[in-house]
Amino acid sequence: MTDSRLLRSFIPPYILNRIIAHGSEPQRNAAMQTLNHVRSLLPNPGRPSQPPARAVLPQASKPGLARRSVHDAQNKMLLPGMPVRLEGQPPSGDPAVDEAYDALGASYDFFWKVLARDSIDNQGFALIGSVHYGQGYENAFWNGAQMVFGDGDGEIFQRFTRSLDVIAHELAHGVTESEAGLIYANQSGALNESLSDVFGVLTKQYTLGHTVEQADWLIGADLLMPKIQGKGLRSMSHPGTAYDDPLLGKDPQPDHMRKFVITSEDNGGVHINSGIPNRAFYLAARAFGGFAWEKAGRVWYDTLCDDRLNQDATFDAFAKLTIDHAGQRFGAEAADAVQQAWAQVGIE
């Protein structure tokens, strides 16, 4: 899991492109730098991939105990940066460092306590995070070895460590890579993104103790600066409604297959079309009620770990497996609830 081609970033290219087209000069510069960096790390057949630098790892621990290390990139783009806080050490006083440390711990706890999974690879993989990455860097990403968080530009985006679901989202990319290796393009790529949103929002709900009804179902609700007209970057309950802002434009996510976006951008629209399976998960969770991680989350995790889930899985193939797993674990009524959830987004 150390191939730089595994980079999975949080902020979609369509948002960065919108800022480049409509932002002020500082905003455009920050967005351009971020977009160029993300593109530089994506697969290039003519360039051999380079594995990310290795971080200083905390000592191995027994299952059920996280192994965290948080590093300060010092506004450079060299990873992992200077080690600032290792597992068991007290708060550093740097909000970004301590937010990353706490959120990595909360993410580990969710996967361990709810799903009995020991970190990213289920074998105690060390959770490495780097903060203060670049200057005005408007993204967070997983690069196959660690998680990386920018500080934002302070005008559109706040620092990315503020959002627990963003950190859990990036960690979940590693889980998906370890279990299913879903190809990061087209429908399988949108499923890859959706699964990170699912486990990101479940980690937040679990940490806060929120039921399906209490939860906001927003991804990145803590990222937008107050002047931006939006609730977050994505809404799982109502895709396409997260923001509507003169600078960022309107949230383009579809909530039904009839609105599926065909595009060559963003690896075939992985961040846009993830709205469809996101809403299906929300509808299933709402049908079950209670805590979303107890039934819907369990079904989605079972599906992720199913050997029948192909790397190039379509929405339809994934949906069929979730229905099967709902029936296996919770019975025919649960299978019907999941089937109805998918039907409501046009997948039958």
Active-site residues, by number, are 170, 271
Per-residue tokens: 293? 């991680």
Residue 259, C-beta contacts closer than 8 angstroms, at least 6 positions apart: none
According to DSSP, the residues that pair with 219 across neighbouring strands are 234
In contact, 168 and 206? CB cutoff 8 Å: no
Per-residue tokens: 311? 């790397």
Per-residue tokens: 172? 């979940």
**CA 299 to CA 338: how far, in whole Å?**
9
